[in-house]
Amino acid sequence: MKVLDDFDFTERRVEANEELDVVAWAENNGWLVRKLQWIGRRSAPDRLFAGYGQLLLIEMKRKGKTPSRDGRLSEGQKEEFKRFAAVGVTVHVFYDGESAISFLKSRMTGLLV
């Protein structure tokens, strides 16, 4: 069987894998992590990270193969994240696990006594 000329052999990381890498790191470093899902609504951020006196909302995206799926927020996510912004809450969006972990490290400013 001949491989098609347009077949793409590049290695891909699934968004869920990146997200789970961040979750594992965070839980091993003192963060409490919960998966989010709204009842009767769509477009919840992926995870809530609680620790070091903070609550952080994080959405993980991945670069896609097609321009329509290239790490973009859905229209529902854009609207939901605007609702959070209107009440002073930022939903942090990351495209790889390393960036999300670096962000969490930067928020570990003090230890709870």
pLDDT of res. 1:
60
Q: 27 — phi, psi (to 5°)?
A: -65, -30
Residue 98 in 3-state DSSP? Answer: helix
Domains recognised in the chain with CATH numbers: 15-106 (3.40.1350.10)
Residue identified by tokens 């968004």 is: 15
pLDDT of res. 43:
94
Q: What is the pLDDT of residues 8-24, one digit of tens each?
A: 555 544 556 889 999 99
Contact of 64 with 57, CB cutoff 8 Å: no
pLDDT of res. 38:
94
Q: What is the pLDDT of residues 48-104, one digit of tens each?
A: 999 999 999 999 998 765 555 667 899 999 999 999 999 999 999 999 999 999 999
The pTM (predicted TM-score) of the whole model is: 0.78
Copy the structure tokens of residue 55.
């609550």
pLDDT of res. 113:
46
Please give the single-letter amino acid code of residue 73: L
**Residue 33's beta-bridge partner residues?**
49
